[in-house]
Copies of this chain bind each other. A is one copy, B any other.
Amino acid sequence: MSSEFSIIKKFFQQIPSDKDVIVGSGDDCAIVRVTEGYELALSIDTLVLDTHFTLNTRVTDVGYKAVTSRLRDLAAMGAIPKWVTMSLTMPQVDQDWLCQFSKGLCEAIREYKIDLIGGDLSRGPLTITVQSHGILPIGSAVLRRGAEIGDSIYVTNTLGDAGYGLTLPDGNTALYRPVAQIAAGLTMRDFASSCIDISDGLLQDLQHMLTASSVGATVYVDKLPLSETLQGLPRDTAVQLALSGGEDYQLLMTIPKKHIAQFELAMPTRVTCIGEIVEGSELIVLNLKGERYRVMQKGYQHF
């Protein structure tokens, strides 16, 4: 019989690299010192077997994505990632599973230069909850609710690639090794009036932004940035994936006209203007001819 403590020690205890970690795993709480003049951004989420991954998903990828999926929320605020905590529920102690899972988890932690500072193990159905913690200068968080009429709508990189991966038997890199847009988040902070990360599909997440900001939007199908792979698919398939495919991990931002030139110059990733914020509350999707584009599916529904 393995104890919670021996499992944590073997697979998840690491020496924190950050001097602001006063106490890491192994006590009643983790203790972190928060830098003066900064705010703390927090995001929590759970990955569930058969809902968010299957027994066929590579376990290292599950561990990797458990971390990066929480960092994308920090990126969308413009925060610098600092620490993660994890609560892991497992039906039994499977050393091989734990070994692979912790390998993927630690890869992400090293890659993003953050620390795992606390956690908990329980017996039960396989679920993984991670909370991320980032900091940002007081008042600098980019919220969903700041979009204003006339702002241009931008996205990072390309859309629909992870959604396409979901249709492939073996998935793809965009689906299993997604990149949290941290550097893009830190840069857009100086320019964007609002930002959200695309996780449930462009249209659904844009709708959240519009609702929060009490505005409408026009999106041009022909401006959607598509990867070479998606450009090789039937046009309609690619566009539907870009509009509604989940798990994209890209940032959706609104940029006031006066900042556009500087924003485009400063951003460390490719950014594409896909539309603009308009009066009203409607989200309108148009093709090149200016006709309404018929959207098949609005994106991922949690229930």
**Chain A residues packing against B (C-beta within 8 Å):** 1-5, 7, 22-23, 26-34, 36, 38-52, 72-74, 76-77, 79, 85-87, 89, 92-93, 117-125, 127, 129, 131-134, 136, 138, 141, 143-145, 195-197, 208, 212, 301-303
21 contacts between A and B (CB under 8 A): A7-B303, A28-B43, A28-B74, A28-B76, A29-B73, A29-B134, A30-B41, A30-B43, A31-B136, A33-B39, A36-B36, A44-B129, A46-B127, A47-B122, A51-B123, A87-B129, A89-B127, A93-B303, A121-B302, A125-B125, A127-B127
Q: Which of A26, A29, A132 has the most CB of B within 10 A?
A: A29
Check A301–B3 contact: CB distance below 8 A.
yes
Q: With CB as the reference atom, state the residue of chain B lying closest to A5.
A: B208
Check B28–A73 contact: CB distance below 8 A.
yes
Check A87–B1 contact: CB distance below 8 A.
no
Check B144–A46 contact: CB distance below 8 A.
no
Q: How far is the CA of A303 from the CA of B92 in the complex (A)?
A: 7
Partner of A28, one of B117, B119, B197: B197
Q: A46-B122, A86-B44, A87-B44 are in contact. Are A32 and B39 (CB under 8 A)?
A: yes
A269 to nearest B CB, angstroms?
18
Instruction: List B contacts of A42 (CB < 8 A).
Output: 29-32, 85, 117-118, 131, 133
Q: How far is the CA of A295 from the CA of B117 in the complex (A)?
A: 34
Q: With CB as the reference atom, state the residue of chain B lying closest to A88.
A: B46
Instruction: List B contacts of A129 (CB < 8 A).
Output: 44, 46, 87, 129
Instruction: List B contacts of A45 (CB < 8 A).
Output: 87, 120, 122
A178 to nearest B CB, angstroms?
15
A221 to nearest B CB, angstroms?
25
Q: How far is the CA of A133 from the CA of B40 in the complex (A)?
A: 11
A6 to nearest B CB, angstroms?
9
Check B134–A48 contact: CB distance below 8 A.
no
Instruction: List B contacts of A30 (CB < 8 A).
Output: 41-43
Q: How far is the CA of A301 from the CA of B92 in the complex (A)?
A: 13
Check A28–B77 contact: CB distance below 8 A.
yes
Partner of A124, one of B31, B87, B127: B127
Q: With CB as the reference atom, state the residue of chain B lying closest to A211.
A: B5
Instruction: List B contacts of A124 (CB < 8 A).
Output: 46, 48-51, 125, 127
Instruction: List B contacts of A23 (CB < 8 A).
Output: 141, 143
Q: How far is the CA of A119 from the CA of B42 in the complex (A)?
A: 10
Q: How far is the CA of A131 from the CA of B130 in the complex (A)?
A: 10
Check B120–A46 contact: CB distance below 8 A.
yes
